[in-house]
Amino acid sequence: MPKLTSPLTGDFLFEYDYFSSEQVERASESTHAAWLRWRNTSFVHRATLMLEAANTLRRNKEEYGRLITEEMGKPLAEAIAEVEKCAWVCEYYAEHAEAFLRDEPVKTDASNSFVSYRPLGVVLAVMPWNFPFWQVFRFAAPALMAGNAGLLKHASNVPRCAKAIEDVFTEAGFPEGLFTNVYVPGGEVEKIIANPLVKAVTLTGSGPAGSVVAAAAGKYIKKSVLELGGSDAYLILHDADVAEAAKICATSRLINSGQSCIGAKRFIPVPEVYDRFLAAFKAEMATAKVGDPMVEGTRVGPLARHDLRDELHEQVRKSISMGAECILGGTIPEDPGAFYPPTILTEVQPGMPAWEEELFGPVASVIRAKDEADAIRIANSSSFGLGAAVFTTDTERGMRIAREELEAGACFVNGFVKSDPRLPFGGIKESGYGRELSLHGIREFVNVKTVWVG
């Protein structure tokens, strides 16, 4: 029986039972049955319900925001903004799904031939705790609008968020069982993937979890999409607006108390601006308010769990033991709660955790580069490839570097990497494969069907 404790105080919050194998099987059957009724509904009907889901989210955004903050520690203002973003993605696909999935005529030797996009069926979503509403809705909105059904296995430390999301779709009028939450441990995921009623799987999470899910999906020959970790590199070039770049870099590093796959992790200023950037960046990081996430103005709340905080601290300690210098933070506070202070490591070198691994918390690695070409080389040396950014007043050069040089799924110029329903989102290398959001996301879980008429 999992027990949920507060990341702020460590106090008991909630406990629940995992589903039995029989309960999971019944949930899968119910979701599949709902899909059989849903798959041929009109886009107009689906959009009406999806817009009502958006209304439900906005109407209850403070309640859902508090739930997010209680379970995983996100500052309340960010939690409410996360719920608002979920409403946006629902509205986006309600408006655009029909156009994205419209039959496409193709001229051939047939009297009529075209490409049709048809739903696959039940899609299993294995979701993380760091954005407990957004990660789910950015999958669910396109999947349901495409005519699929959803089976949700959420992170074990956000159980009430998982149930609340299921209830959003129920309250909006979606068929009972079309989107179903199941409480299961991670070790049971392969059994769900193996179920013939489940046609595909999407996972957002760690590399090891993605490897397990990808192997299971391959074993049972099912479509999978993986959005995994990241160690995004931000390049600060010689002509950058250093003060603005430092502010944007600190914002990206501290979003969600540093627990974001696309949060900036590695900062690579060229020699001409290294000292100025480091001073400005340190000032921005040092003034970020750490404290109770329910209090207005808090930028850094507790990390989601104490064990995650301790793992982060060990990465910092090991990097320091290997020669990194800690110029800010780096110590665990004595106060209760899973807090970790904004931390900056310099003199970071290959082989250190701060260079090689994802630091999932408010810890920044500042890396010396010899010049612009070396900065690009360092950025691309990571095994991750989720996002990257470049700061320069020469936007043409910035666009060239973003488009042609940086090895990542999303490359931004003079801004921090973020997800947007209008743009495809996903990574390369060990950051995963496939795309979410935009036209590309809704077409991941459909049968791209050729129809030929003689």
Instruction: State how beta strands 112-119 and 446-453 pair.
Output: antiparallel
- Provide the pLDDT for residue 214: 98
Instruction: Give yes or no for residue 311 having a pLDDT over 90.
Output: yes
Measured CA to CA, the distance from residue 137 to residue 430 in angstroms comes to 23
* In contact, 448 and 240? CB cutoff 8 Å: no
Measured CA to CA, the distance from residue 368 to residue 349 in angstroms comes to 9
Domain ranges of the chain: 3-228+431-453, 232-420
pLDDT (tens digit per residue) in 254-310 = 999 999 999 999 999 999 999 999 999 999 999 999 999 999 999 999 999 999 999
Instruction: Give yes or no for residue 43 having a pLDDT over 90.
Output: yes
Decide if 296 is catalytic: no
* In contact, 123 and 74? CB cutoff 8 Å: no
pLDDT (tens digit per residue) in 355-371 = 999 999 999 999 999 99
Domain made up of 232-420: CATH architecture? 3-Layer(aba) Sandwich (3.40)
For 160-187, the DSSP string reads HHHHHHHHHHHHTTPPTTSEEE----GG
- Provide the pLDDT for residue 403: 98
pLDDT band at 12 (very low <50, low <70, confident <90, very high): very high
232-420 matches 3-228+431-453 in CATH topology = no
For 361-403, the DSSP string reads SSEEEE---SSHHHHHHHHHTSSEESEEEEE-S-HHHHHHIII
- Provide the pLDDT for residue 335: 85
One of 227, 372, 407, 444 is an active-site residue; which one? 227
Instruction: Give yes or no for residue 340 having a pLDDT over 90.
Output: yes
- Retrieve residue 445's tokens: 């879980």
**CA 312 vs CA 301, 354, 361: distances in Å:** 15, 10, 7
Instruction: Give yes or no for residue 69 having a pLDDT over 90.
Output: yes
Q: Give, as one character, the DSSP assignment of residue 157.
A: T
Torsion 267-273-275-277 (CA) sign: negative
- Provide the pLDDT for residue 1: 79
- Provide the pLDDT for residue 9: 95
One of 261, 326, 405, 444 is an active-site residue; which one? 261
Residue in this structure with the two tokens 């595909």, named with its chain if needed: 200
- Provide the pLDDT for residue 208: 96
Decide if 90 is catalytic: no
**Class of CATH domain 3-228+431-453:** alpha beta
- Retrieve residue 20's tokens: 């039995």
pLDDT band at 84 (very low <50, low <70, confident <90, very high): very high
Instruction: Give yes or no for residue 320 having a pLDDT over 90.
Output: yes
Q: Which residues of 124-141 are buried (b: 16+ CB within 10 A; e: fewer)?
A: bbbbbbbbbbbbbbbbbb
Average pLDDT, the chain: 98
